[in-house]
Amino acid sequence: MTKIATVVGATREGRVTDKLAKWVSLEAAKQADVEVLDLRDYPMPFLDEAISPRYNPERQPSAEVKRWLDKVAEFDGYVFVTPEYNRTTSAVLKNAIDMLGHEMDDKPVALVAHGSSGGAQAIASLRMALPGVGAFTVPQALFFTDRVGDAIDAAGMLSAELEAAPYGHQANLKTIISSLVWYADALKAARK
Which residues form the domain of 19?
3-191
Q: Structure pTM?
A: 0.96
- What mean pLDDT comes out for the span 74-85? 97
Pairwise CA distance, residues 143 & 75, whole Å: 24
Cβ contacts of 63 within 8 Å, gap of 6 or more: none
H or E element in which residue 40 lies: none
Q: Please check whether residue 104 is in contact with residue 30, taking contact to mean a CB–CB distance below 8 angstroms.
A: no
3-class SS of residue 38: strand
Counting the structural domains of the chain, the total is: 1
Domain of 52, CATH number, reads: 3.40.50.360
For 143-169, the pLDDT digits (tens) are 998 899 899 999 999 998 888 888 899
- Would you list the DSSP string of 100-150? -SSTTTT-EEEEEEESTTTTHHHHHHHHHHGGGGT-EEEEEEEEE-S-HHH
| Beta-strand pair 77-83/3-8 | parallel
For 121-145, the pLDDT digits (tens) are 999 999 999 999 999 999 999 999 8
